[in-house]
Amino acid sequence: MSETPLRDVFGKALAELGSLNPNVVALDADLAGATRSIHFGKAHPDRFFNVGIAEANMVSIAAGLSTCGKIPYACTFSFLITLRALDQIRSQVCYPHLNVKLVGTNAGISGFGDGATHQEVADLAIMRAMPGMTVVVPSDEVTMRQAVLQSADHVGPFYLRVPRVPAPVFHSPGSPFAFGKGVRLREGVDVTIVAMRM
């Protein structure tokens, strides 16, 4: 198992992406330390916006930035982005098919330390039901980094699900990565385990 929490991998990869692409901007709803978007904020302070505890407004701002050629990454806890900002996601991002990257950290039950209200397992069902939304759930730190770096090239609504905790490493750093492709980790006799990249 890796010792690096996947939210840390996300934050560092986002900062790296910001160095590679000057159109990338990041927004956070007053949780930059927890989502790890703080790495982007420190590396690119002129392209980082803390909008406060205003998730719906954050998504609306991201939608507006995307119409100006920017590639916005709107970051907050998964339960906040999928429940508090859902109307904006559906109406202002998905229906017009805008190029907005939504990042839900502490996803699933990985935010166990914050209690039941901060755990979100419905985010996958919610985001998969949004029109035109691409949902990506990286399995380890290798695929998390690759997903972040490649996400800027994907045009359209995009949801990245980021757990808070470390995960076992399944993929070697040089392994091929593509959205929407399955990967056979090994052949099985009774069961075959397949990691899907959506």
Query: Could you give phi then psi for residue 187, rounded to 5 degrees?
Result: -70, 145
* Residue written as token pair 């590639």: 71
Q: What backbone torsions phi and psi does residue 99 show, to the nearest 5 degrees?
A: -85, 75
120 is an active site residue = no
Say how many C-beta atoms besides its own lie within 10 A of residue 198's C-beta.
13
d(C-alpha 1, C-alpha 188), whole Å? 22
- Choosing from 55, 120, 141, 187, which is the catalytic residue? 55
| b/e code 2-24 from CB counts within 10 Å (16+ = b) | bebbbbbbbbbbbbbbbeeeeeb
Are residues 77 and 34 in contact, defined by beta-carbon separation less than 8 angstroms? yes
Q: Whole-angstrom Cα distance, residue 155 to residue 166?
A: 29
Which regions of the chain does DSSP assign to beta strands (E)? 24-28, 48-50, 71-77, 101-105, 134-136, 158-162, 182-184, 194-196
Q: What's the CA gap between 73 and 99, in Å, rounded?
A: 10
Q: Which residues are catalytic?
A: 55
